[in-house]
Amino acid sequence: MALAPFAMTVLYGSQSGCAQDVAERIARHARLWQVPVTLSCMDDFGMERLEKIMADHYHVFVASTTGQGVAPDNMSRLWRSLLSKRLPSNHLEHMRFAVFGLGDSSYPIYNAVARRLFQRLLDLGAVAFYPRGLGDDQHDLGYDGDFMPWMDGMWRRLRELHPSLDAMRLDELAPRYKVSLVDGVPDDHVPLGSFGQGVGRYIPLPAPVLDSRRITPEDHFQDVRIVELSARHVRYTPGDILIIHPRNSVEAARQFIVDRIRMDPLTVVVIECKDDDGKLPTGCKVTILDLFVRFLDIFGTPRRHFFEFLAQFATDDVEKERLLELSSPEGQADLLAYNFRERRTYAEVLNDFPSAQVPLARLLEEVPRLAPRQFSIASSPRAHPDRIQILAAIVEFQTPYKRRRVGLCSHFLRTLKVGDSVDVWSRSGCLSIPPSPVPMIMVGPGTGIAPFRSMCNELSFLHDRGPSEIRVYFGCRYKANDFYFEFEWDQLLSRGTITAFVPAFSRDQPNKVYVQDQLREQGADVWRILSGGGVFYLAGSSNSMPKQVQDAIIDICIEYGHMTDDDARTFVRQLQRRGQYVIETW
């Protein structure tokens, strides 16, 4: 088999798995063009291998931005190496590279990691063979809205540089997985495996459920609940993130297997993979039901490339034409209406195109791994010993065509019972208690109050730390319905742990009041803390709220700091760079 006249290395830095997914799709396209490709997280690849650059080689970097412009765990070592001041300006002069970033424009520091990586590679003499691409999670199509045009353009550029590539594209790749039916019973415990790579690798551990209760009234529009787990295997500090690996509904998975795969859900199989990526359990006996309950995101929303994949198997001409239309650049508005706005699932799409009978091995390859979900920890190690709590808002909504949807992890959490086991691990978040006492402003509308409950409860036990001014701003709709932890805040005030607790109830009076309004109302106190070396923490929804809060802070700087608008914005950016203005949104 003839190979392409060049090779490619695809390197990713990924915290939640999205950047890894993008990197895998780039590598898959490379294989379709018969390009020898290496796929790795940046830290596992390392600086030493990066420096051994061959003339016939292209490097593609995919990097996500987390929190306050922080690099993902599994690229942190390579990034530090690239930042070394000892490296000369021509250190990577033989490298040809491209960079695609994944970010969220609701954060003030948008796609910072990809921007910095692109510039640093240029500073070291590397040559960009294709312009930098930036994917925005706020796009109607998610990051695919930016990624697919970028990737198509990158391959066009490579075909311009290497015209012989045009004749080398394969119709399809050989399956990565081999699925063998076996006799006997499944293994007692089939491990989930690890998530991430490099220093960002995590292995989920089981945590028994101690409690799961709704804390909003039954007649309130949203079910918000406290989920409490045993912390026997989990170590955390206030401000950390609990990562939960959810499961699909057993009944829904069973029905899908019977109706679409047309097999007994309890059929036992063994999976083999020649380049094991840890997505599925290989070499052990597992039921098909277990695969679709614990491992595969069959009830997630497919991306554009799935429709192109499905068209290969459609035997009905009308179905094939429709699938190709949905996967084409011209059909993106239709894809948005049919797929993304309706939050259609892989299972539903497969049912909508019944002539496309996909072999199980190929379906296992195309349906992504169930992604873990992240929650700010609401408990304190000292106040809640041996326990870990999260504050979870159950996500329920109607699509434009009135389909009722419930978030996967929301459904999973709502159905938990005491004694059930949840696969979890923890990691550091953007927020933390400063090492020495400094004035703090904590702004947490809705479930964004969770990390501040953790931090304030912990501070109430640190008697030798010394006092500091702490002002907490909380926002919700109704005092009677969603004022989370109301009595705890009263206790923290009476103990002197916090200086002020300022609620904003948006629906209890004709004029809506939000946290940004309360910040403006107390602008003198806010300015005193910001200008005096204090820290400003914000947690909550990533919609318009962070910008509205930042606008309020800029107004306060203008009024009380006597600044111009430009000076106020510069001041806020300086606070962000120094870690004194920290945002954690979701």
Q: What residues are designated binding site for FAD?
A: 343, 373-376, 407-410, 586
Rounded Cα gap, residues 550 and 536, in angstroms:
11
Q: Which residues pair with 373 in a beta bridge?
A: 244
In this structure, are residues 244 and 388 in contact, taking their beta carbons and an 8 Å threshold?
Answer: no
DSSP structure class, residue 216: S
Local structure of 126: helix, strand or coil: coil
Angle at 373 between CA 286 and CA 327, to 5 degrees: 80
Whole-number Å distance between alpha carbons of 507 and 585 = 23
In degrees and rounded to multiples of 5, residue 286 shows phi and psi of -145, 145
| The one-letter amino acid at 527 | W
| Cα distances (angstroms) measured from residue 226 to each of 180, 209, 403, 434, 477 | 42, 11, 27, 26, 18
d(C-alpha 244, C-alpha 525), whole Å: 38
DSSP string, 472-516: EEEEES-TTTS-TTHHHHHHHHHHTS-SEEEEEESSSSSS---HH
- Structural contact between residues 501 and 510, judged by C-beta atoms closer than 8 angstroms: no
User: What is the separation, in whole angstroms, between the first and last Cα of the chain?
Assistant: 47
Long-range residue pairs from 270-278, CB within 8 A, at least 24 positions apart, any chain: 270/179, 270/180, 270/182, 271/177, 271/178, 271/179, 271/180, 271/364, 272/177, 272/178, 272/180, 273/176, 273/177, 273/178, 274/176, 275/176, 277/24, 278/193, 278/194
Where is the binding site for FMN, in residues?
64-67, 137
Q: Which residues contact 175 (CB under 8 A, 6 or more apart)?
A: 359, 361, 362, 365
Contacts of 218 (CB under 8 A, 6+ apart): none
- Could you say which DSSP state residue 461 is in? T
Other Cβ atoms closer than 10 A to 340: 21
Annotated binding site for NADP(+): 447, 506-507, 512-516
Q: Residues forming the annotated binding site?
A: 64-67, 137, 343, 373-376, 407-410, 447, 506-507, 512-516, 586
d(CA 547, CA 567): 17
Half-sphere exposure of 180 (CA within 13 A, CB side): 11
